[in-house]
Structures are given as structure tokens and as C-alpha cells.
Chain A
Amino acid sequence: MEESTNNPGIMRRAEAAVGVAIKVVIALLLVGMVVLVFMNVIFRYFLNSAIAWSEEISRFMMIWLSFLGAVIAFTRSEHLGLDLVVKAVPPKASRAITILADLLVLFALGLLVSGGYTLARETLLSGWTSPATDTPYGLVYMVVPFSAALLFLQAVIKLIEHVRAIASSAKGAE
């Protein structure tokens, strides 16, 4: 979808730049998880001493990987969904539904940005830390508002593109 125009807008270029940074981070997170969990297996079975912090840190890494990865999947429209109705109805209705769906996604992400931010801030202030590594849970939760905000921006870009497509097709029909 994103390669449909030869001259991507500035928003799309910014999205691509942020995308590269996120890809590097999620790739490193996955490597980190593999190394930590595998090392723990080796330590436990061959050296008889488990690394207590390995499980905790790798779990936190997976939380970050999941939310950041969701941003990459959104760019390529790979999130699981059902386009049965959109494909079955006439083009006009289909466009209207697409815009409505875009708005609903924006609303859901707004909930997540707001809820995630409050959660992360309050948890950070409460000083609640994880048992094995003393990692502040607020930092773990911070990925929620951060990713949700990036997703929100992407959803805005998508909405603008969909509205533009309708506007240009309406112009073409005149």
C-alpha cells in the first residue's frame, strides 16, 4: 500500500525513518531474548545456577518488542482484521466504512495513549519495582503510550490518505 505513490509525502518519509529505528530496536530485543533465555538454560543445566534476572528482563523485552513491533505491522497493514464487508459493499459505502474504521482505530489508540500515559506516570511515581532486578514498572509500561502515540500518528496519516483518495476520485468523476 505504502509504495502506491512514487512521491511519498513528507509524513510517509518521516514514518519510514522512525520505522528503521524501531526495526533495529525490535531486532536487537529479539536477539537479547534469545541470548538471555538460552544462557539461562545453559546455566541451569550445566552449571547448576540459574540467573534470576534473566526471566524477568526477557519478559520485559517481549513487552517492548510486542508494542514496538505493532507499529511496524501497522505500517504494512498486517494487523489481523476482517475486510469481508468492505469488499462486499459498493465502492461508496466501502469508502465510508473505511473512514469510519479509521476513526474508530484513532479513538481506540487515543484510549491507549491516555490510559497508558497515566498508568506509566503513576506507576513511576509510586516507585513500584520488579522483584529480581528492581526495574521500575513505570519504565516497562512506558512503551504503551509511546507505541500508541506512534500508532496514532500513523493512523492519522492513513486517514488523511483515505480522505484524499475519496476527494481525488470524486474530482475524477466530475
Chain B
Amino acid sequence: MLVVFLAALFGFILLSVPIAFSLLLTAFVLMMAMGTVSLPMLAQNMVRGIDSFPLMAIPFFLFAGELMNVGGISRRIVSFARALIGHVTGGLGFVTVMASMLFAGVSGSAVADTSAIGSILYPVMKREGYDEKRSAALFAAAGTIGPIIPPSIPMIIFGVMANVSIIKLFLGGIIPGVLIGIGLMIGWFVHAKKAGYKADSKFSFKVLLSAGFDAFWAMLLPVIILGGIITGIYTPTEAAVIAVVYAFFVGLFIYRELKLSMLPELLVNSAKSTAVVMLVCGAATAAAFLITTAQIPALLSGTLLKLSGSNPMLLMLYINILLLLVGCVMDLTPALLIMGPMLMPIILKFGIDPVYFGVVMIVNLCIGLITPPVGNILFVGCSIAKISVADMSKAIVPNILIMVATLFLITYVPGLVTFIPNLVGR
């Protein structure tokens, strides 16, 4: 059954059938193999995968991100980071990472993070004479911090799928996200020294103060989102809708860069991005139901058990390698939805903390966003910087290594993930 499943799924995907439809076809093949074909059940499970209040945070965070980009919030976050750290050697590189981390605190998606920061800062880096490929590789890698530092759309999906507290997952992502940011900054520092870049600007307390003042309303947003979630005043979905309303009013009335005439396009874009994610969610739920019925997790865990004995650390090594390979060819959301239901039973059997596992899995698959040959953020980065995928793939290798090192650090020092969730834990 495992062979039938893997052959069907990867066969369809490799034939370039969109992943949502590949999952539906795989579910159908599994039904045939088990001799119980029920098409209404397939449709019903698909709806069930979408019918969830926590998942509603996804359209809201996507819409809030669109509002922040056109409403001037993103630009002010960048200006603030620039005033804060632009004065060091190769300053714009540090600004890129810093701005991505700050933006990660208001957005939950890597695409939003990368396109917001990259499209603002890349042209400036190019003008300053920075190496184009390295600059592009930097903002792309930094963009993957978007779903690691909360809020995070993949964490919402994982939380719903694996029945794990979304709030704890959010909190668990903070330290890993900051570590990746620091790692990328160190990598950039080495490059900037070698290349002999100069500082972006002289440090000026006056500029910092005015940039900070100007960015006040923008920087209040992560406080509102995370503060409310952590203290339990509202749920992640409610935080997301508050972010929408907040970004709308700040863009319209305070920064006055948002025009009502822009709304229809923003709404349609957000709805469409939502549909793309949700269709995979629904199809994966329909497939997951059959994956479980066909006992595929048990078959997979048997194999992994044989490989790793009963050593959870060895198990995590194999899982990390497996996920890194999957991430090379598959996007974050489908990889999460396909591998999650298969791996969770094994994780629970080994007594591994599901919050820790969820964060490790998401950090791992975020690396997959920039690993060639297929990586969503790799492609977004190429299209913003107008460089070839081949050039980008070469330039991004050091950043991938930095992220993999961070991945293994958090895998083998679980406290880095679990410290904050346990601190707040209820």
C-alpha cells in the first residue's frame, strides 16, 4: 500500500498535475486499492479540511499583508531598520535581515515577507554597488523568516492538522527565527568585509528618532498581534482580523497611502491566494483520511523504527534529512500537509513534544523554500532581482548552509524551541 501511495502521489506530481489534484487522484487510487470507492466522501472530506475557524486566520493575515504593503507600513518598517543598523559596514545587508525579522512579526507568509522587503531594499543595494547575486540571495533567505517568527500561516496549518496549540507553535518559533536572522547577519558580515562594502549612512540619533516615530503605528502592530495572542485576550484568528482592520485604518487615515480604489484588487488577490492554499488543505485532508485508513503511517514508522532503533535523536536526524529532500522539490504548504499526517503518529509514539516537532518541521521546510531546483522564494527572489535561477541557486548556498546549521542546532537543543512556550504555557 505504501508503494501504491508513493508511486501514485509522486507520479502525478512529477507529471505536472497541480498538487491539489494530485492529492485527489491519489486518494481515488487508494480508494480503488482498498475496494471502497465513495466520491461523495471524497468531496465531503475536502470541505471538512477547509471548514475550520482557526484556518480563517490565513485569509486575514494574507489580506493584512496586502494592506500593509500598499498602505506604507512595510516601507516604514524598512526605514526604521535602516536608521537603526544602516551605519555599519555593508549596512543595507543587515537592514534587509533586520527588516525581514520585523516584518515577520506582522506577516505570516514568506512570499509576503520576501516581496515586501526585497522589492524595497534590493534596488537600493544594487545602486550602492553591492554584489547583485549575493544581495538577492540575502533578501530571499531572510524572507523565509516570515513564517518562522510569529504570526505564521504554516504554523496555523500544522496546529489545525496535528491538533497542537497554535499559540505554543507561534511562541516556539521566536528563538529559531531570531537565530536564523543572526546567522544570516554573520554570513553577510563575512561577505561584506571581504567585498569591502561601505556603510549605508552615518548613524544619526535624530534620524533614528524620526524614523522610529514615523514607524510607531507600524511597529505597534506586532505588539497588538502577539500581545493579544500570548495573554489569551484573543485567538490567532481574531488577532488576524484585528490586524486587517488596523492595517486598513493606519493605511487609510494615518499614513494616507491606501486608496479605497485599491481595495477590489487587494481583496481579489488575497482571496485567490487563500484559495490556492485552501484547495491543497482540502485535498490533503481528503487524502489524509485515506492515508490513515490504509495504515500508511504505520508502514512508514515501521521503516523509520528499523532505521533509528528507538533513539529519538536518530529519528529526528532521518526525518530532517527526509524533509530537506522533500523541500528541495516541494513547496512548504503541500509538503507540510502531505508529510505531517504521515509523521505525526511516529512522533507521538516516540513521545516527542509535538510543539517542538512542529517548529522543527516548519523551519526545515522553510529551508525548502530556497533550495534549488524548486523553491517558491527562490523564484520570487529571482523575479524581483531579475537574475537567473542558476545564478541565484549558486549565490544562496552559503545561506542554505547557515539555515541548515540552525536547523540542527534547534533539533538537538530542543530548549531553544520549547523555552518560551513553556514559560507562558498553560
Chain A positions near chain B (C-beta within 8 angstroms): 23, 26-27, 29-31, 33-34, 37-38, 40-41, 45, 55, 58-60, 62-63, 65-70, 72-73, 76, 78-86, 97-98, 100-101, 104-105, 107-109, 111-112, 114-116, 118-119, 122, 140-141, 144-145
Contacts and interface: CB of A to CB of B under 8 A. Distances in A.
A29 to B, nearest CB: 7
Contacts, number: 187
B18 A79 contact: yes
B153 to A, nearest CB: 14
B234 A41 contact: yes
Given A30-B63, A104-B17, A80 B334 contact: yes
Interface residues on B, range: 35 or more
B242 A119 contact: no
A103 to B, nearest CB: 10
A104 B53 contact: no
A119 B15 contact: no
A115 B56 contact: no
B264 interface: yes
Given A65-B274, A97-B15, 6 more contacts: A30-B267, A37-B60, A81-B16, A115-B38, A118-B39, A122-B40
Interface in B267-309: 267-268, 270-272, 274-276, 278-280, 282
A41 B15 contact: no
A104 B275 contact: no
A85 B245 CA distance: 43
Interface string B104-138: 00000000000000000000000000000000000
Contacts of A72: 268, 271-272, 275
A82 B268 contact: no
B391 interface: no
16 contacts: A26-B272, A30-B274, A37-B56, A38-B241, A38-B245, A45-B234, A62-B56, A69-B274, A76-B272, A82-B13, A82-B329, A82-B374, A98-B16, A115-B38, A115-B41, A118-B39
Given A29-B271, A69-B271, A141-B43, A62 B278 contact: yes
Interface in B128-150: none
B73 interface: no
B51 A105 contact: no
B419 to A, nearest CB: 30
B15 A101 contact: yes
Interface stretch (B20-28, B82-90, B91-99, B175-183): B20-28
Given A38-B245, A70-B275, A27 B267 contact: yes
A108 B29 CA distance: 11
A72 B268 CA distance: 9
Contacts of B257: none
Contacts of A116: 40, 43
The 9 closest A-B pairs by CB, nearest first: A69-B275, A115-B39, A66-B278, A27-B267, A79-B18, A119-B40, A115-B43, A26-B271, A81-B18
B408 interface: no
B46 interface: yes
Interface in B372-402: 373-374
Contacts of A45: 233-234
A59 B53 CA distance: 6
Contacts of B244: 34, 38
A53 to B, nearest CB: 13
Interface string B53-79: 101100110010000000000000000
Contacts of B41: 115
B237 interface: yes
Contacts of A85: 14-16
Contact of A31 (B242, B267, B272, B275): B267
A79 B41 CA distance: 23
Contact of A81 (B19, B28, B237): B19
B18 A27 contact: no
A63 B238 CA distance: 18
